[in-house]
Amino acid sequence: MAVGIKDKVAIIGMGCTRFGERWDVGAEELMVEAFEECLADSGIEKNEIEAAWLGTCMDEVNVGKSALPLSMTLRLPKIPVTRVENFCASGTESFRGAVYAVASGAYDLCLAMGVEKLKDTGYGGLPNPGSNWGSLSWLWWPNVTAPGAFAQLATAYAAKYRIPDDELKRAIGHVSVKSHANGALNPKAHLRKQVTIDQVLAAPIIAHPLGLFDCCGVSDGAACAVVTTVEKARDMGFKDFVTVKSLQLALSSGEEMGYNSWDGDHFVTTAKCSSKAYEEAGITDPRKEISMMEVHDCFSITELVTYEDLHISERGRAVYDALDGFYDRDGQVPCQVDGGLKCFGHPIGASGLRMLYEMYLQLHGRAGERQIENPRYGLTHNLGGVPFMNVCSIAIIGKS
């Protein structure tokens, strides 16, 4: 009988690059930068790693389709290395591969790496998705933009709960102001400048009601983790380590696009995935038990709706929780403590591991100026795709 992943795997080291427009380096240098911090943090030798996973998304403009770039760049000792891709959840997929491999007993020490190099591809935003979307790339994508798709989410949400336009804009504006304030405290963040609500509300509209400050950009960066069993961590002398409480993944089935049961105001995958994650972690009241979160704020409305899909805010109440400061750094459930996708940045393959990196630092009390008090559980949430067709990945970690 399946019993889940809770407390079977320990994270003994993590590393993350500075995110941003890293014109001076390639994906290989970014991987090395993250890996060196991870090795120093864990205290292990490279040759102790028995298997590795590499998460990247845009293979056509990045490191390619195989796992060789990780193996060759880090000079790994001819061990199994696997490349994984699952849109914006690619980094968490890398982590999931390493965690499950250790939990299965196949290996003692595994590496998870996520990386993406997007700033010198010739595109202002994301490159053409090409084969990543299969036939949908040409049948659907010419008529869809990411801001447009998520703007429709915002209008559907506002219509369902009868939220006035100015109130919605102020709430999602607060989400962005919060992230900028947190990012300003993070030396590795892409954007480190605070903004005011007046600046956010006065910014150019990209796709109504989303303005410039409601949209995250793209970045270069890498992040990684070394995992082992809890027993092995103790044998290695670790006394104070972070364990994986839950890992869950949910993908759209096509119902959102093909039927009228979904009204476009939330993410079906996140609502279901989070329920499974809480069950696996033994969490019964996430509003009270989750200490902090890093969620997929590709747009400010995505973060706002996710508060509800994670069953922390009640349906239709996320607007008011956000405005009340519930998710601020000094609120009850701080969200995007490191600046989130909006300000830390969004190199697609690295984002899931970057989120885990912040939760890991917070749990160890090593987050500097942005440290929150006595965190117990940290939750990370990735969302890849668009509201009507997406991938959702959720991880929960905490102290052993």
What three-state secondary structure class fits 274?
helix
Buried/exposed 316-346: b ≥16 CB within 10 Å, e otherwise: eebbebbeeebbbbebebbbbbbbbbbbbbb
346: annotated active-site residue: yes
Neighbour count for residue 32 (Cβ, 10 Å) = 17
pLDDT attached to residue 34: 98
Residue 256: what pLDDT?
87
What does the domain layout of the chain look like in residue ranges? 9-121+220-243, 146-215+245-399
For residue 198, the model assigns a pLDDT of: 98
Residue 333 φ/ψ region, left for φ over 0, alpha for ψ in the -120 to 50 degree band, beta for the rest: beta
Known catalytic residue: 16?
A: no
Q: In the CATH hierarchy, which fold is given to the domain comprising 146-215+245-399?
A: Peroxisomal Thiolase; Chain A, domain 1 (3.40.47)
Q: What pTM did the predictor assign?
A: 0.96
Q: 145, 207 in Cβ contact below 8 A? A: yes
Residues in the chain, how many?
A: 400
User: Do the domains 9-121+220-243 and 146-215+245-399 sit in the same CATH topology, yes or no?
Assistant: yes
Packing angle of the helix pair 146-161, 300-309 (nearest 10 deg): 50
Contact indicator for 299, 157 with CB cutoff of 8 Å? no
| Residue given tokens 């000094």 in the structure block | 330
For the chain, how far is it from start to end, CA to CA, in angstroms?
Answer: 24
Q: Could you say which of 3.40.47.10, 1.10.3720.10, 3.40.30.10, 1.10.10.10 is the CATH number of the domain covering 9-121+220-243?
A: 3.40.47.10
The CA R_g of the chain, rounded to the nearest whole Å, is 20
Cβ neighbors of 225 (< 8 A, separation 6 or more) are 11, 13, 14, 15, 38, 95, 98, 111, 112, 353, 356, 357, 360
Closest C-alpha to 344, from 356, 354, 335: 354
Q: How many CA atoms does the CB half-sphere of 151 hold within 13 Å?
A: 15
In the three-class reduction of DSSP (H, G, I as helix; E, B as strand; rest coil), residue 79 is classed as coil
Q: Residue 109 phi/psi, 5° resolution?
A: -130, 125
Contact yes or no for 289/281 (Cβ under 8 A): no
Helix-helix angle 165-183:146-161, to 10 degrees: 130
pLDDT along the chain (400 residues), means of 10: 92 98 95 98 98 90 88 97 96 98 98 93 65 51 81 97 98 98 98 98 97 95 98 96 98 88 95 98 98 98 98 98 98 98 97 98 98 97 94 95
What are the backbone dihedrals phi and psi of residue 40, each rounded to the nearest 5 degrees, phi first?
Answer: -60, -40
Nearest residue to 385 via CA among 304, 261, 296: 296
pLDDT of residue 129: 56
Q: What residue type is assigned to position 212 of the chain? A: L
Give me the catalytic one of 343, 346, 381, 392: 346
3-state DSSP percent of the chain in helix, strand and coil, to 5: 40, 20, 40
- pLDDT, residue 3, reads 86
Report the C-alpha gap between 144 and 47 in whole angstroms. Answer: 46
Active-site residue among 16, 38, 57, 88? Answer: 88
Residues 6+ apart with CB under 8 A from 47: 77
Distance from C-alpha of 97 to C-alpha of 54, rounded to nearest angstrom: 9
Residues 6+ away with beta carbon under 8 Å from 83:
53, 54, 55, 56, 65, 66, 67, 70
